[in-house]
Structure formats: structure tokens, C-alpha cells
Amino acid sequence: MDRLYPESNAELADRIAESGAVISEFPFGRAPDKTTFPMRNRIVSGLATGVVVVEAGKRSGALITAREALESGRNVFAVPGRVDSPASVGCHDLLKEGARLVTGVDDVIEEYEQLLPAPGRGSAPARPRPPLSDEEARVMEWLDTDGLRDVDGIIRGTGLAPATVGSILIQLEMKRLVRMLPGRVVEPVSVAAADGAGDRGGA
């Protein structure tokens, strides 16, 4: 906290503290180095509902943040770039692994529409469920028994590995079957739509 890096960010830190918080898991006097940045990225991803990677090289620190976000059940988005650009390699790797493709702000807003005020009334028409793998169906079956589950509960209930569950949840989000809510809570889209319609109808 008392060894800001770079030092030119001191004014920025003061501005953030006026309306938010400047935090660190390190004690006073600890100088930043190459070992602390990945640890810091874990905190960044943990505070975020989702992580958008715009540009990332093969060994970019942004990829560390994205991996941490994936492990903790956060949404991961990636912006594609030129196929011959070294700065796009990391984003393209994330997209291959199931990150949500982003070409504009609407792609991100759509993912979090349940957090935004509803513009109208009525519920969306039902749509058929897309094909699911055995593991995806296993997770959906677990969700369907309750409607809301935290990521750790899904891991315990299904018996699947944490990394496997994280990957499956990204796939299910891309298929518009689940949404990741704050607090590592997973919600089936059908349940969210029904609840949203009820809230709007009673307003």
C-alpha cells in the first residue's frame, strides 16, 4: 500500500480512494516484484463479476487474470484481433477454450442483462434446450433441482473437478442456459427469465 507501482499512479490511487477502495493483501513495506503481480491479478479477478481481455500476448499477465477468473467461476470474455498479431494470441487461445467472444459492449451487457432494469413487460418465449454433453447435462440436472447453486455446491454435488466445472459453466453460459451472478452463484436462464417477468408484472 505504501510502495505504489509505478510511482506515477499515486494520484490515481488517491482518486480511487475517494469513491472506492485501494486494497492489497501484502503488508506495508512490501515492494512489488514479478512474484506479486500474479497474486494481485487473483484479487482483481475475484472482485470482478467478469473479465474482458482486449489484447494479450502468449505470456501476458492478462491471461493470468483470466485463468484466475475461470477458476473462481467468473465470466471470461475475449476480443478477437488480427491472426498475425502477437498481441492477439492470448485472446484467440481463450476463445478456443470457451471464452465469450466480444465484438462490442452489447455482448457484455447481454450477459448481465439480469442486473439491468427491464425495459418492458412479459417473458421471453420458451426455446428448445441445445444439445448437451454428458457432463453439461449432469450440471444442468443438479441446477434444475434447486434453481440457484453456488459453484462450490455444484462441484460437491456433481463430483466433478473444479476446473472441469468452471469450463462447463462457460460452455453453458455460451449456450445461454445459465448465468453467473455475484457471489459465485449460478442461475439457470429459464429461472431468471421467469423471476424477471414476475417482478415486472408486479411493478
Question: What is the reported pTM?
Answer: 0.53
Domain boundary assignment for the chain: 1-32, 38-113, 128-202
Task: Convert the pLDDT of each residue in 150-180 to its tens digit.
Answer: 888 888 888 999 888 888 888 888 787 888 7
If we measure between CA atoms, which residue out of 181, 45, 116 comes closest to residue 53?
45
Indicate the fold that domain 38-113 takes in CATH.
Answer: Rossmann fold (3.40.50)
Could you read off the pLDDT of 4-59 as tens digits, one per residue? 888 898 999 999 888 888 889 999 999 998 889 888 888 888 888 889 999 999 88
Domain 128-202 has CATH 3.40.50.880: no
Strand partners, 149: 186
| DSSP three-state, residue 107 | helix
